[in-house]
Chains A and B, each alone.
Chain A
């Protein structure tokens, strides 16, 4: 997938979660996402970035603007070196939380994205990749 632009930003605190939201919003606007598409990917980014801060001890977000000649999109990769998730299926289930949240963030982020991929190993960390395409429902 040809990427036109890429940037990596660290996320260690809630104020940096806010910064990630602003960046994702800016990139989504540049790509030409509609207001609904912008809001969906910004919200998904907010959930995943906060998960990294709350459960993964902080990590990095890689933003990539994609363009394959036909469609344009935005891919976000969230990577932390935290304790990892023992049971990914369980973590994706709505209503399940190991903290004090609503237990909807991970599953919600999946529903808000066109592509979703999660890899986690206990003790090694978690990597979540989401992508949205302009014009995709």
Chain B
């Protein structure tokens, strides 16, 4: 029964493809009229044409299992690529789903010319089910596309946020900015330890001026990093401890007795120079 209903849909598609395409494009262009800067002209027509062709191909195979069957694979692939490209281009989920749902009107108009009464109701119902599940598929894929964008940005942020800089021969600095969750701390620790090896540095300054909150987890991450650096023969100085952070750490009860801490990066740098037996002196007029 299901197949015969879709047979009617297939018949209508075959007979009226150009007409349906024209009606569909008109609706889409009206809906997207404000967004035509996002889509190249001709791209929409190409996508719509490809979709109708794929739909026709899948329907003629007679299989009704949209989500898994082989026959529907080309339709699914096409939907996936359209949804993903729209997610990247900045379309809203509604605009993306409209691609499928706006097909209903021209399709139902064509079906109406093809049948009437109970037959028509049946055909419209089965077509609605079909397009709804395709619409959901598009929305879901769109969502996945957005999630991929977010995941990529998170990855980029991880890499961006951990620059180890050399202040002097033997002195490294790691300016931390933002939230220190476990994933980021891991990256930070690795890049610091690697930089200690690469530069043969004896002193590393971890500056937390840009870390808004130092709770017990952040403190634990910091202490672990200091301990790991110490195992590699480098001493760490933690700088950028603002008054409010200092008070909070005291209330929390975190012990950082065996770590050198300083209020500013400049103080920490001066300690580092002292340790290396270096001093910054003002040049006298004579020396110039």
**Which residues of A approach B to under 8 Å, CB–CB?**
14, 18, 21, 25, 35-36, 38-40, 42-43, 46-47, 50, 94, 101-102, 104-105, 107-108, 111-112
Determine the chain A residues whose CB is within 8 A of the CB of B245 once the complex forms: 39
Determine the chain B residues whose CB is within 8 A of the CB of A108 once the complex forms: 215-216, 251-254
Determine the chain A residues whose CB is within 8 A of the CB of B219 once the complex forms: 102
B41 within 8 A of A: no
B213 within 8 A of A: yes
| Assembly CA distance A41 to B30 (angstroms) | 51
Name the one of A25, A35, A105, A111 contacting B215, with C-beta atoms under 8 angstroms.
A105
Which residues, 227 to 276 on B, are CB-close (under 8 Å) to A? 243-245, 247-248, 251-254
Given contacts A18-B179, A43-B248, A43-B252, contact A105 B216 (CB under 8 A): yes
B220 within 8 A of A: yes
| Assembly CA distance A35 to B215 (angstroms) | 16
Interface size range on B against A: 20 to 34
Residue of A nearest to B247 (CB): A36
A43-B248, A108-B254 known; 4 other A-B pairs, CB under 8 Å?
A18-B179, A36-B243, A36-B248, A111-B253
Given contacts A14-B181, A112-B251, contact A43 B215 (CB under 8 A): yes
Contact between chains at A94 and B220 (CB < 8 Å): no
Shortest distance between the CB of A104 and any CB in chain B (Å): 5
Name the one of A18, A50, A102, A112 contacting B248, with C-beta atoms under 8 angstroms.
A112
| Assembly CA distance A18 to B211 (angstroms) | 12
| Assembly CA distance A18 to B218 (angstroms) | 13
Q: Main secondary structure on chain B at its contact with chain A?
A: helix
Name the one of B248, B253, B254 contacting A39, with C-beta atoms under 8 angstroms.
B248
Determine the chain A residues whose CB is within 8 A of the CB of B130 once the complex forms: none
| Assembly CA distance A47 to B213 (angstroms) | 11
Residue of A nearest to B245 (CB): A39
Closest CB pairs A-B (n = 9): A108-B252, A39-B244, A46-B215, A111-B251, A36-B244, A102-B216, A104-B216, A43-B248, A112-B251
| Assembly CA distance A40 to B251 (angstroms) | 9
Contact between chains at B217 and A50 (CB < 8 Å): yes
| Assembly CA distance A112 to B254 (angstroms) | 13
Residue of B nearest to A36 (CB): B244
For this complex, 21 residue pairs linking A to B, each with C-beta atoms less than 8 Å apart, are: A36-B244, A36-B248, A40-B247, A43-B213, A43-B214, A43-B248, A46-B217, A47-B216, A47-B252, A50-B215, A94-B253, A101-B216, A102-B219, A102-B220, A104-B252, A104-B253, A104-B254, A105-B216, A108-B251, A108-B253, A111-B253
Which of the listed residues B179, B214, B219, B254 has the most CB atoms from chain A within 10 Å of its own CB?
A: B179
Which of the listed residues B213, B214, B216, B247 has the most CB atoms from chain A within 10 Å of its own CB?
A: B216
| Assembly CA distance A107 to B212 (angstroms) | 21
| Assembly CA distance A122 to B253 (angstroms) | 27
Determine the chain A residues whose CB is within 8 A of the CB of B248 once the complex forms: 36, 39-40, 43, 112
Given contacts A36-B244, A43-B248, A108-B251, contact A101 B217 (CB under 8 A): yes
Given contacts A47-B215, A104-B253, contact A35 B220 (CB under 8 A): no
Given contacts A14-B181, A18-B179, A102-B220, contact A39 B252 (CB under 8 A): no
Shortest distance between the CB of A26 and any CB in chain B (Å): 12
| Assembly CA distance A25 to B213 (angstroms) | 10
